[in-house]
Amino acid sequence: MTSRRALIVGGGIGGPVAAMALERAGIEATVYEAADAPSDYAGLFLNTASNGLDVLRSLDVDVVAGAEGFPIPNMVMWSGAGKRLGEVANGIRLPDGTVSVALRRGLLQRVLREEAGRRGVKVELGKRLTTYQVGGDGEVVASFTDGTQAEGSLLIGADGIHSATRRTMDPAAPEPTFTGLLSIGGYSHHTGVPPTPDTQHLVFGRRAFFGYLVRSSGESWWFANLPWADEPSRAELAGRSTEEWKRRLLELFAGDLDRISEIIQATHGEIGAYTVHDLATIPTWHRGPVALLGDAAHATSPNAGQGASLAMEDALVLAKCLRDLPDTEQALAAYERLRRERAEKVVAYSHRIGRSKTISNPVGAWIRDLVLPFALKRFANPRAHAWIYTHHIDWDDKVA
């Protein structure tokens, strides 16, 4: 056991997982989350891949039922005109049968937060970090917008893509880049689209990209990626009503597969809209007793469905380093050394996938639809992407 106390900034995905891993390593952790209240139904759904689920299994955390999750082992690609371009596995089935699952993001966060709480981790809501300072004794003092402070022996910035921890650590670090895509989505009831509960459908429409899955209950979970020239402000996105988004999406997908319009029309509840950014590389992930993890260190666009899994992997490796290396700075340096190459490779891979979604000129789209069936045959080869999905972190292995 060690007497180190960790301040974890951010209670999204990587933060609570890091807290649970640290607790297992004998390090006390408190999570400080900016949101005032849980928002269980915010943030659409996400794919958590076998490598992320493997991390959760190492920590004996089961999120699937609590986050209304279900396995999605297959993906079918379509052209907007309805030509079936091919089928690929959604990740790789691990020897124990684990495959990627679709989960509701808000519920996933709740399950992780509550499980961390059951294990003795304190989670404080309404704590938005403004800055931190490292004192002469090496202790870190975090300051929050409500005027309060917290002190610990190390601070982990798990505060997402627009990380305040990253800005404080290195004000010159590059900012995330807008990828030219918006991600918009929701949930629909009562469409005539038949359930295909183990398959996600991805449609390269004429003007935009559409993804959907239909659960056995008939409920559809869907998202659209829209090419968007200039980065919109948060206020601009929030200022558009669900009805406005519906109208815009119905225009964009007019003439594409009919089921797209049917699913959009049947949306119940709000349509959420997010800008898609990524962050290819930053000069350092750690300084003194402070480290970054997840999107704060290496934000990936959602195209590869890996951001959550990478954040979980970071969390486990970081806790192992702190468990095995008594010097905090050495532990954080080892963590970065073990994680950076893999994380940045996934970010670059996901970015490349995104480029095929932004082709909206008819000739480019025609070529893509012609070439894609051959490219998919290569993607369908599980060995090509085994490095992503079968990545395993052995908790019992010592970090040298």
The residues in 82-141 that bind ligand FAD, with binding defined as CB under 6 A, are 127-129
154 binding ligand FAD? (CB under 6 A): no
Nearest-5° angle of CA 279, CA 283, CA 284?
A: 100
159 binding ligand FAD? (CB under 6 A): yes
CB of 202 to ligand FAD, least distance (A): 12
Strand partners, 157: 9, 292
Give the whole-angstrom CA distance, residue 160 versus residue 153. 21
295 binding ligand FAD? (CB under 6 A): yes
The single residue listed with the structure tokens 């209240």 is 37
249 binding ligand FAD? (CB under 6 A): no
3-state secondary structure of 204: strand
Among 22, 32, 346, 391, contact with ligand FAD (rule: CB under 6 A): 32
35 binding ligand FAD? (CB under 6 A): yes
Among 180, 186, 205, 294, contact with ligand FAD (rule: CB under 6 A): 294
* Identity of the residue numbered 69: G
69 binding ligand FAD? (CB under 6 A): no
Among 160, 176, 186, 289, contact with ligand FAD (rule: CB under 6 A): 160
CB of 287 to ligand FAD, least distance (A): 17
Where would I find the beta strands (DSSP E) of the chain? 5-9, 28-33, 45-48, 70-71, 74-79, 84-89, 101-104, 122-125, 129-134, 140-144, 149-152, 154-157, 177-188, 199-204, 209-214, 220-227, 267-278, 286-287, 290-292
Q: What tokens appear for 185 in the block?
A: 């989505």
309 binding ligand FAD? (CB under 6 A): yes
Q: How would you class 37 by CB atoms within 10 Å of its CB: exposed for 0-12, middle for 13-18, buried for 19 or more?
A: exposed
Among 307, 321, 347, 369, contact with ligand FAD (rule: CB under 6 A): 307
* Identity of the residue numbered 232: P
319 binding ligand FAD? (CB under 6 A): no
Residue (of 361, 268, 319, 292) closest to 27 by Cα position = 319
CB of 30 to ligand FAD, least distance (A): 12
CB of 32 to ligand FAD, least distance (A): 5
157 binding ligand FAD? (CB under 6 A): no
3-state secondary structure of 61: coil
* Identity of the residue numbered 343: A
Among 59, 88, 203, 311, contact with ligand FAD (rule: CB under 6 A): 311
Binding piece for ligand FAD, criterion CB under 6 A, among 67-75, 303-311, 329-337, 375-383: 303-311
Give the whole-angstrom CA distance, residue 300 versus residue 310. 9
328 binding ligand FAD? (CB under 6 A): no
152 binding ligand FAD? (CB under 6 A): no
The number of CA neighbours under 13 Å toward the Cβ of 215 is: 16
Binding piece for ligand FAD, criterion CB under 6 A, among 45-53, 205-213, 356-364, 377-385: 45-53
By the 8 A CB rule, do 32 and 129 touch?
A: yes
Binding site for ligand FAD (CB under 6 A): 9-15, 32-35, 44, 46-48, 127-129, 158-160, 164, 183, 274, 294-296, 300, 302, 305-309, 311
